[in-house]
Structure 1
Amino acid sequence: MFGGMFGGFPGGFPGGGRFEASYRCYPVSFLDKPEAERGDKVFLPPSALDRLAQLHIDYPMLFQVDNRRDGRSTHCGVLEFVADEGMVYMPYWMMENLLLQEGDVVTLRSATLPKGTFVKLQPHSSDFLDITNPRAVLETTLRSFSCLTVGDTIPINYNNKRYFIDIIEAKPNDAISVIETDCNVDFAPPLDYKEPERQPAQQPAPMAADGPGAAGTAAAVEPAQPEEPKFLAFAGAARRLDGKPASESRPIAIPLPGSGRPGGAASGPASAAGSVGSAAGGDGSAAGSAPKRPGKVFGGNRLQAKLAEKAGGSGAGGDAPPRPPPAPKKEEEEKKEDDSKFKAFSGKGYSLKG
């Protein structure tokens, strides 16, 4: 059918020890062999096998596939020679890389490719990174491939999901053979990968500008003043010397001296004048001031009451009768107490001589 394209050789194959032929391409689904979609091998007609045997082509058989209409090219291997004459069946993903439709004409020529030592791949989606061991999955997939070409996009099926990977670099050539070779694999960031955004540093609060409203702004920004510390007198627990429970004490808050804040102890001429004025108004105590309640420390209330009684007696000029002294203990009681005590060696003495 295409013999006239190659100088009239039978079957369309030129001489010179190189295989080259043109065919109409169709997907492998026409042969009802969907498993062939997982590799890069094509189906050729039996006449191609006869010609390849005469040319003594090296194994494994590799071919360069060209779409001369669009200027696209790739490489592939051969799986079987069972296609109809004049036709080639190839995986559909390969037809997409070559921009081919069903029935388009492609050219196949024999090729010799070096064994690859390095290949760099780039996934299309970040989902490929979620695979537990992507290198093992890739190694299993590439067993169905015979060669790789820079610029191709190959599919990888894993866990009922299909991933697409671009071949962006290969060594030692742009087209390499991956059959029985030790090839290092590197991965580039996926096409949809985005660098994490850096959080901007928080800016400090702007300073208040000078002006009529600056005082109000500064007052609003200034934190609240802490409460003035105060000394609490008699705040401890009360204890009596006789061991009896003491009544509850009430602490008295006394502002610390030297505080100039509002509500603290006043100091200076104004406070002195106020104290003088308060002392002048009244007979013996400051007018309008509440009497201070004595604190209860070690029975202070009873001691103060006794001192007040003594002071009242002496201040009356001897009019009040003196308080009688406490009566001494009776001698009889002392004697009874002495008799009740145990006395050692208080009995009569006896001599051994008689």
Structure 2
Amino acid sequence: MLSSADLRESQRRLESRGREASERARQKAEKERILAERQAARQAVREEEARQRRLAELALEEEERRQHAAELEANNGVLYRAELVAVPAPESIAADKGIRRAADKILLPPSAGASLMSQDASKNGPMFFKLATPAGSTTHAGLLEFSAAEGFVALPLKVIRSLWGPDATEEDCAGRLKVSYRRLPKGERAVFQPRSAHFQQSVGEDIRPVLEGALLQHSCLTRGDWLAVQHGGQSWDLRLCDLYPEDAISVIDTDLEAEINPSIETEERIREEYEEAARRAAEAALATAAAARQQQEDEAAEAAAAAATATRRERARLAAEATLLPEPAADCGEPLATCLFRFPDGGRHSRRFLLSSPLQSLFHFVDSKGASGMEPGSYSLVTQYPRRVFSPPAAAGAAAAAGELTLQAAGLAAPREVLFLEPHASGSGGEAAGGAAGGGGAS
């Protein structure tokens, strides 16, 4: 028979298992909720991407419809577009037929003729076509005939050079081109730029007939085209810099005003000269800046050296001042000499010294007054008449070795002595020392 304790324990286990089952159910529901939210978020992203794609497709379709309408309007209701493989056109076709303006006329396949004739394209006059490479180069050309193989467009050399550069050859004519029908306005003005700087010199006053002769071989022009002009047995390359009223014009039955810009070579030379001048100016500026920096560094070094010298001299002055004994009184009762020192900078300093004072005390006093900027030991003390020279005792050689020289022993025993500061000449230290010893003996 179960006791009340067993019943309570059983009840507790049942409640615990119930709580655990409830928690597992809650966690499972939370996990399913998170998974559902993630799935919904991914679905929303996919739907948004699909919506954006549809919007982009609709925008492209709308732009296509707009361009289609604009193209129809510009071409007076005629529309032709095709992607054809480019091949060189045989020169003999135009020559055999005696066609004059054949330098820029292309051959299209018969299917293009059928499409254009069905739209009555001849109502717009001469047919012109825009040609575009995958790289983005474009030009325009007239129509020679519809005799090219299906899927191909045959290009003359002028069109090849306009699409692939002035040095292109028939071997460069390759790849697929976008070809579309265009109605072009009659040209009013064209601006040419020779490739060579010698073009104007070679043509001279014949520029107008030379250009007219070249234009008579073409049916249209495009900004950026290259035109080959024959003169003097030589071919000259001219680039179309600008056209009016549009970037592509017809030159059939129109009075075209022509202008000639400075040549590309001249522009490049001017640019190179300008760049060279700018380079020289930059180098000069750098040199000036470097010189200024060097001057600043030199001035800073000089200032630092001057500051170090001033600090050293001030320390020497203070040391000399600290070495000096107090100036004796005039009535001290001991033999005195009053020395007047005349400095090279015009300064004058006077002091009393005991005759028993060491000669070095005179130098200490002068050093304590700055010695007109001279270093200690770099000058001698000199009397004017009779001339006697007193070098610093530390450099007096034998006299210093015999004992410290006093004022009386040095001969400075007059009540008043006038002494001048005389800098040592370079390499004359030994002579100065000798003079001190001799001066002392004479007195």
- TM category (shorter chain) comes to 0.3 to 0.5
Structure showing greater relative contact order (alpha-carbon pairs closer than 8 Å, 6 or more residues apart): 1
**Looking at CA atoms only, which structure, 1 or 2, has the larger radius of gyration?**
1
Q: TM-score, normalised on structure 1?
A: 0.47
TM-score, normalised by the number of residues in structure 2? 0.38
